Structure 1
């Protein structure tokens, strides 16, 4: 159960240090109602995290900083949000930077056009959606999501959707894990990835992954010592091909904390390469 070295980790949720973190989360302000979240927190789920990575220093190069951190901790490739910064990072460091874009399913045709353009111009590898964070909220199995799922199948990219209780103080019913059951039934070709832990319904998430071949899970935004036990047990048994590593740098966790805690996660020897690299390469159609 020893975490291997030199495997070339694929991080499915990584970014660049922000110069102004609060501005990054401005798009979520419309859904916040409590004063602490909207006025005092830099990030909407700040109450959940300790030692959030600092904002970027003035004059620093966020691209080279992140690439250096990847090198330090053995990360070969990262899935970054599509932006001018990440496009430049891919130009400088080919083979290490891949793109995901977040969409609002309320804008049906805008989403479809955006995805097709991003795929054609930037070889988009995934699309993500935060059901609790859009206004109005859109449940994972809501009909407004269905054009997004159909387009993802057409473009051969996975959909990453938040699952479980939302970190920011938004209602969470739209992210209940039971919604994924219906989507997998209606879209058997869709590769669907649950993001951010699925708690407190992680056992249901495990049952649904056992049931549906194209349903996956990543423990993004969780420090490794807090990975749900049901998910670890599932990865060690029938779910070795279903669980994929994703961090949360620089949004809430440092790579130092993540990779200091990871060796204590009790994964079996044969699971580590799949969790850290192989599953992501397969599901997200990344180069080997």
Structure 2
């Protein structure tokens, strides 16, 4: 494998392990994180060496500033801080880039802050942790951010499907992207987390709209439903992106399990990087 892109990797440095352990334990979440030292949290140099070994060119990092009123398990605490994204992107050109995490409750102030982020070369897309805000994809509070994405030619990555924690799930129904995909035809939307348990609905949206894509973050390939595998291998070739949602899925495990799936070379290449490079028009190129 070479040239792979992971479109969703949460903060990967060792300091974040305790946050994940606390969140899982105190909320009794049905989630596990990678414990294998060869596939778990690591310092940047070791993580980069792992990327090189496995064939990942670029990892995209959802990034957020932690609000002053953020609870102990707010998603922003698990995202990579903006200053760290900038540091990683500058130190390792082409290997790391950021997705700016939006807060639809912030209104125009949030839009202005997103503009500032997108003016920095390290940020190449917008990111929505849907369930934190209990707003469906067609909620009016999101439309200014979609307009911003159109203006800057960047995609919007959003968690679709059910929440893994004690948050409402209905807002993550994939069909909610139907109207935005029509109204904002120039914006590329990525429905992440397979849209589970509404994966069929997510597939329908990706099949219907040329600007809607599916993402696999947080679900290792051996847990993908047959309908998703068939879509990736057939009519949906080029409409799905490989993501880990690290540390829920590790990069090593993701590729090992992916190798077991009945995908042709072309479908595999599209899933692992080809589609991502079209969706993220500003994805950095590796230095020679």
2:43 counterpart of 1:62: yes
Q: Is the 8 A contact 1:100 1:128 kept in 2?
A: yes
Distance 1:210 1:253, change over 3 A: closer
Deviations 1:34-65 (A, max 9, x none): xxx9x7625868423264567xx9xx972112
Q: 2:54 aligns with which of 73, 96, 108?
A: 73
Distance 1:117 1:184, change over 3 A: same
Deviations 1:75-96 (A, max 9, x none): 1111123422221111211111
Equivalent residues in 2 for 1:18-33, closer than 5 Å: 18-21=14-17, 23=19
Q: Is the 8 A contact 1:163 1:194 kept in 2?
A: yes
Q: Distance between the aligned counterparts of 1:192 and 1:18, measured in 2?
A: 31
Distance 1:46 1:256, change over 3 A: farther
Partner residue, 1:8: 3
Residue aligned with 1:126, SS = strand
2:46 counterpart of 1:49: no
Q: Is the 8 A contact 1:164 1:198 kept in 2?
A: yes
Partner residue, 1:29: none
2:103 counterpart of 1:122: no
Q: Is the 8 A contact 1:220 1:245 kept in 2?
A: yes
Q: Is the 8 A contact 1:197 1:228 kept in 2?
A: no
Partner residue, 2:216: 219
Partner residue, 1:31: none
Partner residue, 2:66: none
State the Cα distance separating 1:253 from its structure 2 match: 2.2
Q: Distance between the aligned counterparts of 2:28 and 2:84, measured in 1?
A: 24
Q: Distance between the aligned counterparts of 1:234 and 1:206, measured in 2?
A: 7
Deviations 1:100-128 (A, max 9, x none): 11111110112211221111123421111
Residue aligned with 1:197, SS = helix
Q: Distance between the aligned counterparts of 1:284 and 1:215, measured in 2?
A: 13
State the Cα distance separating 1:21 from its structure 2 match: 4.0
Partner residue, 2:251: 255
Distance 1:20 1:236, change over 3 A: closer
Partner residue, 2:77: none
Q: Distance between the aligned counterparts of 2:28 and 2:47, measured in 1?
A: 23
Q: How many residues align?
A: 264
Distance 1:50 1:151, change over 3 A: closer
Q: Distance between the aligned counterparts of 1:210 and 1:20, measured in 2?
A: 37
Deviations 1:213-266 (A, max 9, x none): 10001100001101122111111111111011111223x222222222110122
State the Cα distance separating 1:18 from its structure 2 match: 3.8
Residue aligned with 2:99, SS = strand
Deviations 1:151-186 (A, max 9, x none): 111111100111111111211111111211122122
Q: Is the 8 A contact 1:21 1:43 kept in 2?
A: no
RCO greater where, 1 or 2, for CA within 8 Å and sep 6 or more? Answer: 1
Given the two structures, how large is their TM-score scaled by the length of structure 2?
0.84
Given the two structures, how large is their TM-score scaled by the length of structure 1?
0.84
Q: Is the 8 A contact 1:166 1:172 kept in 2?
A: yes
Partner residue, 2:97: 98
Query: Where do 5+ consecutive residues of structure 1 fail to align?
Result: 26-36
Residue aligned with 1:48, SS = coil
